[in-house]
Amino acid sequence: MERAERRAAIERIKDAEAARDELRDTLAAVGVVLPSLGLDNASLARDVPQPLVDLDRCNPGIVRQLAAALRGSTP
């Protein structure tokens, strides 16, 4: 990977981290915690990283909290 590509990849990763943090903070403000929220390792391991934010799995209670937060109500 050349220097310009490396810089672009680093910026994409930083952007994905910022998006993850923004979602985590926004959800926390309404009482929702996604315990496995993070970056998808496989998307970072490519020759040219294309980072994805991984919401992962969560239990039904958390899913209901998330749905309620999106509706603007309480579960």
Segments making up each domain of the chain, as ranges: 3-71
Q: What is the pLDDT of residue 74?
A: 63
Distances in Å between the alpha carbon of 17 and those of 14, 33, 41, 65, 69?
Answer: 5, 16, 12, 23, 22
**pLDDT at site 3:** 93
Rg (CA), the chain: 15
Query: What pLDDT does residue 72 have?
Result: 87
Predicted confidence (pLDDT) at residue 73 exceeds the cutoff of 90 = no
18-57 residue pLDDT tens: 999 999 999 999 999 999 999 999 999 998 999 999 998 9
